[in-house]
Amino acid sequence: MSARFDYSTAPPAYVWLNGKLVPWAEATVPVTAMGASGGLAVFEGVKAYWNPAEEQLYIVRLDAHLKRLYDSMKIVRMVPSYRPEELAAAALDMLRANQIREDTYLRPVAFYDGVKLPSFRYTVGAAPDICLSAMAFHTHLLQHKAKACAVSSWTRLSDNQSPPRVKVMSNYQNNRLAFTEAFVDGYDDAILLDERGKVTEATGACLFMVRDGVVVTPSISHGILESVTRDTVIRLCRDVLGLTVQEREVDRTELYVCEEVFLSGTGEEVTAVTSVDRLPVADGQPGPVFLAVERLYHDLVRGLDRRYPEWRTPVYEPTS
């Protein structure tokens, strides 16, 4: 068994909290707030990749992540005090204040601190606290990372229970139960089915399969987070690789007989799935579509491939 990501644990020197850059050690939440705020937080995971030749840090699809943060807040009826443009500027300020020059994971969180009485009525329509923080991570792109996945015995949440399209902390107990079960059983990750037995996604990433040459992924109304990376991968497969992409229902047993399975997500980047329930996917090696997507994704997020400039927000002034 191995850890999923090799994130550095070093905290940033500064976080952005409610409009100010605050030294990390001073950005604290009262201990009494933690229980009350436990599930009342929506968040994003955004990555920024360092381009050494340009001495530039590129934030990947910042606008799309902020759009999803605001969608999450709307669905859970948080009324933010900041506009998306202000948070985009705050993200740049925070990364610059920390003088970050390495691959970095950026985490915006909107949360109720729970200092007031822990009653739902005090949260209705209230403005959340907002914090932006960052930590270094090690990319596995171009290493052809592969996972052995199990189909989980846990069922994916559904829209009318706790909507999976909301990136709310409380949803992640569902993912964690599935991940933990798979991990203790010797797998790297789990794939969750919905209550009708259809494939949804992995515990922190969306799922693609290649079947009869067609790239297939569950649609956004099949119990998945509306993933930014999923959209990126669909567009790369269609527009750059010229492949047919279908968004449709996927059966568990299709994963056993298809040519390729792979996962995509901001944290996940892209990862091949080389077995499902201990059945090898095709020959049990990362497949050609995955390898092409991995190369494209790596080159685009680091700004080595200059296409799709709207997907990269540069943090620093260009040096030349």
Q: Pick from 98, 104, 175, 275: which binds ligand PMP (CB under 6 A)?
A: 175
Question: Any contact of residue 11 with ligand PMP (CB under 6 A)?
Answer: no
Residues 194-213 that bind ligand PMP (CB under 6 A): 201, 204-206
CB 300 within 8 A of CB 290: no
215: left (phi over 0), alpha (psi -120 to 50) or beta: beta
Q: Angle at the Cα of 41 (from 38 to 43), degrees rounded to 5?
A: 135
Backbone angles phi, psi at 6, to 5 degrees: -100, 60
In the bound complex, what is the minimum distance in angstroms from residue 67's beta carbon to ligand PMP?
11
In the bound complex, what is the minimum distance in angstroms from residue 46's beta carbon to ligand PMP?
8
Residue 243 CA neighbour count, 13 Å, CB half = 22
Tokens of 116: 């007031």
Question: Any contact of residue 228 with ligand PMP (CB under 6 A)?
Answer: yes
Q: What is the DSSP letter of 110?
A: E
In whole angstroms, what is the distance from residue 79 CA to residue 86 CA?
15
In the bound complex, what is the minimum distance in angstroms from residue 45's beta carbon to ligand PMP?
5
Residues 230-269 that bind ligand PMP (CB under 6 A): 230, 265-267
In the bound complex, what is the minimum distance in angstroms from residue 232's beta carbon to ligand PMP?
8
In whole angstroms, what is the distance from residue 66 CA to residue 146 CA?
30
Question: Any contact of residue 45 with ligand PMP (CB under 6 A)?
Answer: yes
Question: Any contact of residue 128 with ligand PMP (CB under 6 A)?
Answer: no
Question: Any contact of residue 98 with ligand PMP (CB under 6 A)?
Answer: no
Q: What is the DSSP letter of 41?
A: E
Please identify, using beta-carbon distances, which residue of 92 and 169 lies nearer to ligand PMP. Answer: 169
CB 125 within 8 A of CB 143: no
In the bound complex, what is the minimum distance in angstroms from residue 185's beta carbon to ligand PMP?
20
| Binding interface with ligand PMP (CB under 6 A) | 45, 175, 201, 204-206, 225, 227-230, 265-267
